[in-house]
Structure 1
Amino acid sequence: MTDANTARFNAEALSWDSNPDVQQATALAHKAYLAHLPDAPTLSTFSVLELGCGTGLLSLALAPSVRSLTAIDAAPGMIAALESKLANNPAAPQNVHPIAVLLESPDDPVLNGQRFDLAVSHLVLHHIPDLPAVFRTLHGCLVPGGKVMVTDFENFGPEARRFHPESKMDGVERHGIERGEIRRVLEEAGFKDVKVETAFEMEKRVETEPGNGVLEGRMVFPFLICEGTKA
C-alpha cells in the first residue's frame, strides 16, 4: 500500500465508522464470507489473518465465529481505532490481535512464524499496486489446505471509477477488480480451486457530477468474492 493510502486512512480513521456506505459494505461482505466458509464447528477452529482491517468492522464481526483473528493494517491510525474498541468495550471479542504493519512477507517478525487457516481482505485490493506480490505473501501465510477469501468491488467498465469521489483518487490503484485478472493472479500465486463470483450488489452514494463533491447520486456496484486453496 502506498504512502498516499496510509496518510489518507490515518486521517479518516476517527470518522471511518460513521460512513453508512462503509457499514453496509462490511455487513454484506460478512454475510458473504459466512455463506462461503465452513459451518460453525469447523470455522470455530480457524485462525484468521485479515489484511487491511481498517477500524476492525469486519474483524469484530468475524471474530466470534473463529478461534483467533490477527488484524493487520498499514495505517497506525486505523489500528489505534480498533485497539480503542477492544479496550473500551467489555463485550468486544478478546481473540482479535491488531498489528500496525505493511505486511510484505510471510516471514515478517510480527507474525512470529504463525501460519493461518484463512486469510481475508475486504475493499483493499483496489489500493494495492502489486497484486501478485500480496497474494504470494498471503499464500505463504497459510497452512497447507488454508484458504484465501477476498471481497472488493468489480471493475465493470468506465463507470466503476465513480465508486470514489474524484478528491479521493490518491492511492486508488484500480477502479475495482477484474474477474480474469484476479483469477490469474491467484492461480499464479499457487492457489488451486480458484473461484471468482458475484458476492452481492450494493447501492452507494456517488458524486452527481465527477469532481463536484456532491454525494447525492446513487449507483449500484457489484462486489466480487474471490477464493482459493493452498495446495
Structure 2
Amino acid sequence: MADHHTHHECAQANADYFSKRAQSYRTELSVEIAKRCASFILKKYPFDSNKTEVLDFACGPGLIAFELLPHAKRIIGVDSAPGMVEVFNLSVEDQGISPEKLQCIKSDSLKGDQSDFNGLLFDVIICVRAYHHFEDPVHVTRVFAQHLKPKGRLMIIDFANAGNIEAYFGHLHGHSHVVPHKHGFSSEQMIDMLKAADLQNPQVEGIFTMTKSEMKHYQGYEQFAKVMNSNIDFTFHYFIACGDKA
C-alpha cells in the first residue's frame, strides 16, 4: 500500500508540474529537441501515411506528434497533465486537423488491462523524454507491449546515465521530486526492460548529445535558470531504445 501511495504521489506531482508548464512549453529549445528526436524515430520504422497508427505516450503539447503527422495515418497522444492535453487539442483544432487523425487523451495511470488506451493496438508506440519520470518503467513497458500490433515497434528516447545528469536533476530542487530516475538509464537497463516485456530485437543506440552551452543558444533555456546559471556543467546524452512485438 505504501509503494502504491508513493507511486500515486509521484504521478500526481508530474501531472501538476507539467500542467503548469503547458502554456510555456513550446520554445526554440523544446522544438529543436523534438525535431531531432522525430528525425531518429522516422529512421527506425517504415512509416506509411496510409497505414501507420501511432501512440505518443507522455506527449506533452504534441511537439513530436505534429512532426510525425505527415508520415502517419493516425496519432493518439496520451498525457497525465490536463494542461498539456488542452494545449495539444487546441493546436489540433487551430490547425484544422481532424480529431480522427490526431487527438490527445488524458490518462492518469496504466492499469495493464484492456481499459488502457480504450483497448486500441498500434503499429508504433513512442515515449520521448518521459521514462526518467516513471516510478515503475518496467510496468509501463509491459503495458506498451500489450498495445502493439504484431510486428509493431516500441521506441523510447531518454537520457543515458552519463554527462553529469544526476547533478543536473539534483540541482533542480523544484523539479527533482518528479524525477525518480535521476541517473538516466544504461543500455543494459533498457535492454532488460524490453526483454521483460517479451519484445524482440531489443536495441539501444546513442542518437545525439546536447551540452549546457549549446542549450543556451536556444530561446527557452531560461526556464531552467537555476541550473543553467549555476557552475554545474552537464551534457545530455540522448538514446533511442527499440523493441518489436512478435
| Category of TM-score, reference length = shorter chain | 0.7 to 0.9
Change (3 A) 1:103 1:212: closer
Q: TM-score with structure 2 length normalisation? A: 0.82
2:137 paired residue number:
131
> How many residues are aligned here?
223
- Provide the rounded CA distance (Å) in 2 between the counterparts of 1:183 and 1:43: 29
What is residue 61 of structure 2 aligned with on the other side?
55
Residues 129-177 of structure 1 show CA distances to partners (whole Å, capped at 9, x for unaligned) of 10110011000111111110110111116x1124443332121011212
Q: Greater CA deviation, 22-31 or 70-79?
A: 22-31
Asked whether the 8 Å contact 1:203–1:221 carries over to 2, the reply is yes
The 8 Å contact of residues 121 and 147 in structure 2, kept in 1 or not, is answered as yes
| Contact 1:55–1:78 under 8 Å retained in 2 | yes
Q: What secondary structure is seen at the aligned counterpart in 2 of 1:2?
A: helix
**Within-5 A mapping of 1:1-231:** 2-18=11-27, 20-38=28-46, 40=47, 42=48, 44-90=50-96, 95-105=101-111, 107-109=113-115, 111-156=117-162, 159-164=164-169, 165-175=172-182, 176-204=184-212, 205=215, 213=226, 215-216=228-229, 219-231=234-246
1:86 and 1:94 in contact (8 A); partners too: no
SS in 2 for 1:185: helix
Structure 1 ranges of 4+ moved more than 4 A: 91-94
The amino acid that maps onto 2:25 is W
Letter in 2 for 1:31: S
Shift, 1:190, TM fit:
0.7
Where structure 2 has 5 or more consecutive residues not aligned to the other structure, the ranges are 1-9, 217-223
| SS of 1:13 mapped into structure 2 | helix
* Alpha-carbon distance between aligned partners in 2 of 1:214 and 1:133, rounded to the nearest angstrom: 31
Give 1:141's aligned amino acid: H
| Alpha-carbon distance in structure 1 between the residues aligned to 2:180 and 2:238 | 17
Residues 49, 70 of structure 2: 8 Å contact kept: no
Note closer, same or farther for the CA distance 1:196–1:43 as it changes in structure 2 (3 Å cut).
farther
Q: Which residue identity does 1:166 align to in structure 2?
A: H
| Greater shift in the superposed pair: 129-138 or 102-111 | 102-111
Q: Any unmatched runs of 5+ in structure 1?
A: none
For 1:190, give the aligned amino acid: D
TM norm structure 1 = 0.87
Secondary structure, aligned partner of 1:222: strand
1: CA distance, partners of 2:11 / 2:60: 15
Supply the AA of the counterpart residue of 1:76: P
Amino acid at match of 1:203: T
For residue 196 of structure 1, give the secondary structure of its aligned residue in structure 2: strand
> How far does the alpha carbon of each residue in 1:97-137 deviate from its partner, in whole angstroms, 9 at most, with x for none?
21011341454546332111110010000000101100110
